[in-house]
């Protein structure tokens, strides 16, 4: 895929596999060492290939050498051997010229060396190649020497314009690989531009849902997330809701050729380094990945990178929710069913054990179980009203305990073993959630399949079912009583709350863009 070149402090849009933290930052400050820019490669329930560095022609051996050079440069900085560090980073730059991290590291080293004009030039090059973290830029002590440089001051003063231009270039890049009709919507509050293959009504419904999710996250987890005094510093994210053909192309391009046979397992991804979110459906996948956007924003502001179990636990909580009045409330789901079964057979990991998994172990060894465990722990925090307090305590004590265990003890005012016992009692009391039609007592009486992302599609129904529901073949059921039903699992879970004879309001898409509301009566299964 061709990527446009944008000059004068504006980025080239690169798809990088992994960008390390700036070396100088890691060498001196533990908080800064957590300021990583990582592709979220573990966000899927099934392991997938590591995203490939499409912007680089470097061989695996060259990439390995570049990583060694970076490690050696970090060690040299720690010893005060700045000239050696500079030489090592120059070698790394020749191997990976598309990486913004190497330019940033060079800016730090040359700032420490007193070469302030050269340091400012390297900082500008880093921004051109994708660096977008103004918070790190402002707090990094290695750049103190260039604060008065006109180019540095120009960067800071023009930051909003830089981010806006990067957004526009990013949108044009995404458009270059999309084929078909796409709705375009921009939300200044969320700092997202959305490109959707769905019709205008479904697209706007999704945008409204993302706003509701962001408000919930701000109220219950990430303090100040939507603060208008802070958000202009946050990079824009391009959210892509593609058609099936474009999703397949993206999957192969982002995840490698081996994804061609596996992309049906991949619901989507948030690629933090390029600020792209791609989701095949408007339901659980989009919600999950958008929560990653919000969490990464908060982590970036704080200069922290939370472990995988926390990232995935937090970001899966709103995959399934109920609506009470105008509020969304995280709900038990098929994931909590998994946890209940694990508890019953004595295979449920403790929170302590869960917190110690590496990224690779979490995402490659029984990943469904680990995702289920992480989500259910955070569902427990949300349900008991402790999520905000836990997150505040965790981020405040992050440098002392990045695992998150001490925050549990702080918030619940008891040892972690006692928290574990209470949590397990809570899991036992959770209701089992319907997962198949056989689990329901009441049914629409129609044959359904997953549709194209905005709701299950009716493939067959009897005359009786048509009279009771008003449904027709090829209708997409997008909501029940204004609660979204974006896939079969969500539809089944929502139907589980009703008894035979209940009358429901069905939101339906009929054809490409005609939306209707139907009154349907449920029949006994």
Q: Do residues 351 and 416 touch, judged by C-beta distance below 8 A?
A: yes
The pTM of this model reads: 0.87
Q: Do residues 446 and 469 touch, judged by C-beta distance below 8 A?
A: yes
Q: State which residues of the chain have pLDDT below 70.
A: 1-57, 256-265
pLDDT score, position 265 = 63
pLDDT score, position 89 = 97
CA distance 491 to 480: 8
Structure tokens at 360: 């690779």
CA distance 462 to 80: 78
CA distance 477 to 456: 6
Exposure pattern of 235-249 as b/e (b: 16+ CB <10 Å)? bbbbbbbbbeebbbb
- CATH class assigned to 437-524: mainly beta
Alpha-carbon torsion (231, 236, 241, 244), positive or negative: negative
pLDDT score, position 326 = 85
Superfamily of domain 23-158: Tetratricopeptide repeat domain (1.25.40.10)
Mind listing the pLDDT tens digit for each residue in 11-48?
222 222 222 333 333 333 333 333 322 222 222 333 33
Q: How many CB atoms lie within 10 A of CB 153?
A: 13
Domain ranges of the chain: 23-158, 328-433, 437-524
447 by Cβ neighbours in 10 Å (0-12 / 13-18 / 19+) ranks as middle
């Amino acid at each position: 895929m061709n990527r446009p070149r944008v000059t004068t402090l504006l980025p080239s849009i690169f798809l990088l596999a992994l960008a390390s933290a700036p070396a100088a930052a890691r060498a001196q400050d533990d908080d800064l060492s957590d300021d990583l820019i990582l592709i979220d490669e573990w966000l899927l329930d099934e392991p997938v290939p590591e995203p490939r560095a499409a912007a680089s022609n470097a061989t695996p051996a060259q990439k390995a050498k570049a990583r060694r050079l970076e490690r050696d440069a970090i060690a040299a900085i720690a010893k005060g051997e700045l000239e050696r560090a500079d030489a090592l980073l120059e070698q790394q730059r020749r191997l990976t010229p598309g990486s913004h991290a190497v330019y940033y590291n060079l800016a730090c080293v040359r700032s420490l060396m007193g070469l302030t004009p050269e340091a400012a030039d390297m900082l500008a090059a880093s921004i051109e190649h994708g660096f977008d973290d103004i918070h790190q830029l402002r707090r990094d002590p290695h750049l103190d020497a260039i604060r008065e440089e006109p180019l540095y001051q120009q960067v800071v003063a023009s930051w909003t314009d830089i981010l806006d231009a990067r957004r526009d270039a990013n949108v044009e890049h995404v458009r270059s690989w999309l084929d078909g009709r796409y709705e375009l919507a921009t939300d200044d509050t969320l700092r997202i531009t959305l490109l959707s293959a769905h019709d205008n009504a479904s697209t706007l419904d999704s945008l409204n849902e993302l706003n509701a999710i962001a408000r919930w996250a701000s109220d219950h987890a990430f303090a100040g997330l939507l603060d208008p005094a802070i958000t202009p510093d946050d990079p824009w994210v391009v959210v892509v809701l593609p058609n099936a053909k474009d999703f397949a192309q993206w999957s192969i391009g982002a995840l490698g050729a081996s994804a061609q046979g596996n992309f049906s397992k991949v619901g989507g991804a948030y690629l933090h380094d390029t600020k792209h979110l791609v989701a095949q459906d408007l339901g659980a996948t989009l919600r999950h990945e958008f929560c990653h956007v919000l969490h990464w924003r908060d982590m970036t502001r704080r200069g922290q990178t939370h472990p995988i179990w926390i990232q995935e636990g937090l970001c899966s909580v709103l995959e399934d929710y109920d609506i009470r009045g105008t509020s969304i409330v995280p709900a038990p789901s098929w994931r909590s069913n998994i946890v209940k079964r694990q508890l019953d057979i004595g295979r449920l990991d403790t929170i302590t054990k869960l917190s110690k998994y590496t990224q690779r172990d979490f995402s490659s060894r029984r990943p469904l179980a680990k995702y289920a465990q992480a989500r259910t722990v955070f569902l427990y925090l949300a349900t008991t009203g402790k999520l905000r307090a836990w997150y505040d305590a965790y981020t405040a004590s992050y440098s002392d305990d990045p695992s998150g265990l001490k925050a549990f003890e702080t918030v619940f005012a008891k040892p972690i073993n006692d928290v574990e016992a209470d949590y397990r009692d809570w899991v036992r009391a959770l209701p089992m959630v319907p997962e198949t039609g056989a689990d329901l007592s009441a049914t629409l009486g129609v044959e359904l399949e997953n549709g194209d992302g905005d709701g299950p599609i009716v493939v067959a129904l009897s005359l009786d079912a048509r009279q009771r529901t008003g449904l027709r073949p090829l209708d997409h059921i997008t909501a029940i009583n204004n609660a979204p039903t974006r896939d079969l699992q969500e539809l089944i879970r929502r139907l589980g709350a009703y008894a035979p004879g209940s009358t429901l309001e069905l939101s339906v898409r009929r054809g490409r863009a005609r939306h209707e509301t139907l009154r349907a009566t449920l029949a006994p299964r």
